[in-house]
Structure 1
Amino acid sequence: MDFKEGFLFDTDKADGQYKKTADNTKLRKYLPEFQFTPFAQALKETCDWFVENYHRARK
């Protein structure tokens, strides 16, 4: 790239990505037996569902 123009930072705006930290304390309090689905399994189930339901999910 041959970019020769300058750039300007807008310091009036927040820097970085907005985030909201999650807390599952209430979930664990009210559903102590709750088990999270392992990530690999959840990803596979989600992808399988999407493939089977593509025609409805992408209308």
Structure 2
Amino acid sequence: MDFLRWTLIFLVLALVSAALGFGGFAADFAYIGKILFFIFLVLFIVGLIFGRGRGRTL
């Protein structure tokens, strides 16, 4: 879940940079956030697939 937190941080940084007029920084932050989001998405799907084999433990 660490990738999701970093994705949200870069999203906020991109929005703040865009609002303040720093276009280059906003594009960089958005690009990094997009990459982290897709890494998180892949890891989430892999976790769902491989987590199905385990039964519920109480």
**Which category of TM-score, normalised to the shorter sequence, fits these structures?**
0.3 to 0.5
TM-score normalized with structure 2 length = 0.32
- TM-score of the superposition, structure 1-length normalised? 0.32
Structure number with bigger Rg: 1
Q: Which has the higher helix share?
A: 2
Question: With CA pairs under 8 Å and 6+ residues apart, which has the higher RCO, 1 or 2?
Answer: 2
